[in-house]
A and B are shown apart, each in its own frame.
Chain A
């Protein structure tokens, strides 16, 4: 089974803090994704990566950056957390060789910024 893990299930940070959210997948997938999920808005793509050290902006990249130093790990960084970044963050991975774009999701990190 594909396994995607996220470093924390719940996280509480203060405004202005630098926040790291970590995601690890164990299926050698090349593609990895970060979404945020808000009630009534569904999932919105923040950033994705199709290879080590490669990154692409999604629909809402402002206020976020990412890092992918190893194939299995994709980090989301909030340089200076703000209260409007309080949300559920979901990581996903997919194998482009599968040619169906199926994404596999981690359990999510619920981030609260005070």
Chain B
């Protein structure tokens, strides 16, 4: 069964600092991997996805993530945090318990950005 672990329910950074949000997954099949962002009182918006092409994936708003099969990781990074990046971030892997078209989500990491 697929599972996703996001290390740290809250991550705090200063504006301009590096953002690193960690995601480890387990999957019995080659996975598709996703990062979504949720701003307050909104739905989830796709940031980026890995679909077995390039292992370094670039997304919107300057975010990127690297797929490392040996480490079963898909960490999200941004070189320089902006106040507008404050939101909750979810990592997800395809092939949930209910089938291949479903996604299994991590519990989320709240990113706090201070001036």
B49 x A100 contact (CB < 8 A): yes
How many residues of chain B have a CB within 8 Å of chain A? 27
Within the assembled complex, what's the spacing in Å between the Cα atoms of A96 and B99? 12
A31 x B43 contact (CB < 8 A): no
Instruction: Please give, as numbers and ranges, the residues of chain B lying within 8 Å of A52 by CB-CB distance.
Output: none
A56 x B98 contact (CB < 8 A): yes
Q: Is the interface of B mostly helix, strand, loop or mixed?
A: strand
Instruction: Please give, as numbers and ranges, the residues of chain A lying within 8 Å of B90 by CB-CB distance.
Output: 42-43
B101 x A94 contact (CB < 8 A): yes
Nearest Cβ on chain B to A44's Cβ, whole angstroms = 8
- The 8 Å CB contact of B44, one of A45, A56, A90, is A90
A101 x B94 contact (CB < 8 A): yes
Known: A43-B90, A101-B102. 5 other contacts (CB 8 A): A40-B107, A94-B101, A100-B51, A101-B94, A108-B42
Q: Please, could you name 17 A-B residue pairs with CB atoms under 8 Å apart, sorted by A?
A: A33-B102, A40-B9, A42-B108, A43-B44, A59-B96, A59-B98, A94-B101, A100-B51, A101-B32, A101-B101, A102-B46, A102-B49, A105-B36, A105-B43, A105-B45, A107-B43, A108-B43
